[in-house]
């Protein structure tokens, strides 16, 4: 994922020069395929070669340092982000990656999954959070609500959530009623699947925490996790295998979609 972000940034740098990728390759005495791989996030250049390209493109020092840092990150197993706006799941990288993904699978242990939250639910969460006095609630709500534009019939969405997320009283009875009704409404879409792990099941595979798995047509999958003030994209194969195994176990531990819907309905009643 970092490689793709890096490649996109290099593409922008080259386009800003007004020169073609072919011309850039000729001036650096590179094969054109080398530049093509670079802008497609496949790497293939050393730090010195990247510095040569940035110099040729007359990239300003601050941007050059950022791209060199991204290049180093692209060789690591994960990508750690400390967002300036204090909203971990609103980092630009996540928004971009969600738009590219053709399948999004989420596990949420304590709360209604972010893309399914209604504005009143989001507002209530902000009021009780450590960031209540440092963020503008209206901007956070608008940003989170805008992210719900990712829902489209051309993609698949699978949400695994624990029963405690359905029963945690966020914002009071009316807010929770509207939130649960919204879940039932979203569950009617044939490209959205909701599976609930019942409290009665006891210990389950998702106890380590919530996360989302992003799958793509043309790229390797990525896992996104977040904490109070940072976000982590994980893409090394060993870690991905672990997260996929967690989802596989949750699939066997959760109620089926129909039973999950019945549980939500019973809580409403």
Q: What are the residue boundaries of the structural domains of the chain, listed by start?
A: 2-76, 79-268
Q: What pTM was estimated for this model as a whole?
A: 0.70
> Nearest-CA neighbor of 253 among 211, 194, 204?
204
Neighbour count for residue 185 (Cβ, 10 Å): 11
- Helix ranges (H only) for the chain are 2-17, 21-28, 32-39, 47-56, 61-73, 92-100, 119-127, 137-146, 163-167, 173-187, 237-253, 257-268
The pLDDT assigned to 268 comes to: 92
The pLDDT assigned to 93 comes to: 61
Mean pLDDT by 10 residues, the chain (269 residues): 70 87 87 81 76 86 79 57 48 67 94 92 83 68 78 94 96 95 96 97 94 87 79 83 96 97 95
* Of the options 3.30.870, 3.30.70, 3.30.1370, 1.10.3470, the CATH number for the domain spanning 79-268: 3.30.870
What distance in Å separates the CA atoms of residue 126 and residue 228, rounded to the nearest whole number? Answer: 12
The pLDDT assigned to 262 comes to: 97
The pLDDT assigned to 145 comes to: 78
Q: Which residue has the tokens 């250049």?
A: 45
The pLDDT assigned to 89 comes to: 43
What is 2-76's CATH number? 1.10.260.40
């Amino acid at each position: 994922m970092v490689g793709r972000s890096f490649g996109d940034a290099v593409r922008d740098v080259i386009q800003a020069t007004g020169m073609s990728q072919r011309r850039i390759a000729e001036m650096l005495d590179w094969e054109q395929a080398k530049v093509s791989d670079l802008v497609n996030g496949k790497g293939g250049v050393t730090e010195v070669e990247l510095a040569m390209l940035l110099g040729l493109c007359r990239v300003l020092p601050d941007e050059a340092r950022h791209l060199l840092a991204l290049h180093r990150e692209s060789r690591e197993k994960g990508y750690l982000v400390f967002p300036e706006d204090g909203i971990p799941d609103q980092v630009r990288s996540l928004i971009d990656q969600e738009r590219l993904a053709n399948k999004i699978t989420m596990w949420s242990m304590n709360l209604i999954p972010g893309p399914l939250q209604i504005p009143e639910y989001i507002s209530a969460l902000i009021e009780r959070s450590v960031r209540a006095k440092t963020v503008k609630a209206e901007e956070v709500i608008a940003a989170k609500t805008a992210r719900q534009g990712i829902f489209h019939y051309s993609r698949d969405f699978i949400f695994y959530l624990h029963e405690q997320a359905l029963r945690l009283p966020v914002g009071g009875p009316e807010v929770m009623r509207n939130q649960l009704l919204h879940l039932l409404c979203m569950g009617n879409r044939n490209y959205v699947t909701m599976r609930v792990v019942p409290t009665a099941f006891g210990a389950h595979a998702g106890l380590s925490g919530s996360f989302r798995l992003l799958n793509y047509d043309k790229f390797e999958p990525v896992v996104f996790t977040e904490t109070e003030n940072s976000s982590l994209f994980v893409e090394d194969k060993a870690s991905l295998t672990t997260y996929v195994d967690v989802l596989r176990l949750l699939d066997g531990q959760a109620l089926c979609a129909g039973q999950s819907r019945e549980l939500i309905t019973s809580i409403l009643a």
